[in-house]
Amino acid sequence: MTARDLPGAPASQPPGEGPPVAEPPAPGAPASPGGAGTDGGEDAAFWGGTDGEGELKRKRRWPRVLIAIGVFFALVVAGIGGLAWQRQSSYNGNIDRIPGVMPDGGAQRPGPNLKGTENWLLVGSDSREEAATTGDGGQVWKPGQQRTDTIMLLHLPADRKKAYIVSFPRDSWVDIPGYGDQKINAAFSFGGPKLLIETIENLTGVRVDHYGAIDFEGFKSMTDALGGVTVNIKQNVYDPARKKRWAAGRQKLDGEAALAFVRQRYNLPNGDFDRIKRQQAFLGALAKQAADRGTLTNPLKLDRFLSALTKSISVDDGVSAGDLRSLVLSMRSVRASDVMFLTAPHKGTGRRGKQSVVLLDGTKAPALFEAVKTARMGEYVRQHGGGNGLGTVS
């Protein structure tokens, strides 16, 4: 299927914080469409300096990159690889497999992807509950109670020399099969992972091969297991929803602070668009800390992190331990500069009835989706730019 042209003029206020169909207060001006070039110096500063020689260099580099390429899937991959498979069985047993996630044979789905490529739908759900709802002992979807605050499409080319992450603003106004035009995160609330996959496939024309999920509560345990992570904030900002004041500069976050950091949207200059960048920056910081020599050379600390990581995630039941192992090995040469974070092209925000929504760009978005479908993302990036920078965020 081809991408759907989503009409509508941009407006001045960003999408809401409430449930998928509710209208929240507007927190700021819209961000410009994704695809802007990355500040190379800033990115280099974020990722840190050079690594050591030989085996230590390889061990430090590729776990850092793999974690950075996704919210939970990449963390699993890097985690299982981190100890050279010494505890593969134990960590793999922690990962929750979700049955019946993928659309069934009767669904109208795009055809198979090009041979060797893979596309993962990565979802960060936020039930606003104390207990995690994904991972060990959790229920991945509670009808009408969960939101998808993070929606990413991970595209892996056949040669595994690059990785591309396309983020979808959670309030993107799209066609949800069986429900009509709604905010994209309503698909998860209405019908769980299966309906969200169908919605993404209907929107992009790209077939989703696998699904992964983590509740934001999982960020807390992973952050605390590492002893905290460091992010760089551009300017002083206050979060009125959580009565939290952030000072400009480098901030070391514990688990609770990390959760507040990735959740904030109110008072950010570009609302949800800045929150997307915050989430990406946090993942990079988590990766950097996990790949730090002090973590890799401390068996107890590393084990705590990998245990917290694998207990916090869920994947579709078609993902085996062998699949993860093969994927890690195929991506061992990927570097930080080979990972591209992009946001689906949009026209900013607008109104649909009483709702504040994100209007995807019906002219520019199809070109991105076609590049994913035809495995021509390298050509797309060369033409349109390298995506989001992860150095300093609002």
Question: Which domains does the chain carry?
Answer: 40-384 (3.40.630.190)
Give the Cβ contact number of residue 300 at 10 Å.
Answer: 7
Report yes or no: 168 and 272 within 8 Å, Cβ to Cβ.
no
Task: Show the 3-state SS of the chain.
Answer: CCCCCCCCCCECCCCCCCCCCCCCCCCCCCCCCCCCCCCHHHHHHHHCCCCCCHHHHHHHHHHHHHHHCCCCHHHHHHHHHHCCCCCHHHHHHHCEEECCCCCCCCCCCCCCCCCCCEEEEEEEECCCCCCCCCCCCCCCCCCCCCCEEEEEEEEECCCCCCEEEEECCCCEEEEECCCEEEECCHHHHHHHHHHHHHHHHHHHCCCCCEEEEEECHHHHHHHHHCCCEEEEECCCEEECCCCEEECCEEEEECHHHHHHHHHCCCCCCCCHHHHHHHHHHHHHHHHHHHCCHHHHCCHHHHHHHHHHHHCCEEEECCCCHHHHHHHHHHCCCCCHHHEEEEECCEEEEEEECCEEEEEECCCCHHHHHHHHHCCCHHHHHHHHCCCCCCCCEC
Nearest alpha carbon to residue 213 among 319, 369, 325: 319
For residue 208, how many other CB atoms are within 10 A of its CB? Answer: 25
Give the integer Cα–Cα distance in Å for 274 and 322.
37
pLDDT < 70 stretches in the chain: 1-88, 125-147, 215, 291, 293, 296, 328, 332, 334-337, 386-391
pLDDT in the model for residue 208 = 96
| Residues 181, 357 contacting (CB under 8 angstroms) | no
In this structure, the number of other CB atoms found within 10 A of the CB of residue 253 comes to: 21
> Which of 305, 129, 294, 276 is closest to 215 using CA atoms?
129
- Residue 387 has phi, psi (to 5 degrees) of 105, -155
| pTM attached to this predicted model | 0.72
- Predicted pLDDT at 179: 94
Rounded to the nearest 5 degrees, what angle is found at the Cα of 290, between the Cα atoms of 381 and 158? 35
Integer Cα distance of 163 and 122 in angstroms: 14
Which pLDDT value is given to residue 295?
76
pLDDT score of 23: 43
Give the C-alpha distances (Å, rounded to integers) separating 235 from 45, 229, 271. Answer: 18, 19, 15
Which residues is 165 bridged to in the sheet?
Answer: 154, 341
| Pairwise CA distance, residues 277 & 294, whole Å | 27
pLDDT at 363: 93
pLDDT of the residue at 171: 92
CB contact at 8 A, 37 and 379: no
pLDDT of residue 333: 72
- Closest to 151 in 3D by CA, of 223, 111, 199, 221: 199
> What is the reported pLDDT for 28?
42
CA distances from 349 to 9, 174, 371 (A): 8, 13, 25
Rounded CA-CA distance 42/234 in Å is 12
User: Cα(230)–Cα(253) distance, rounded to whole angstroms?
Assistant: 6
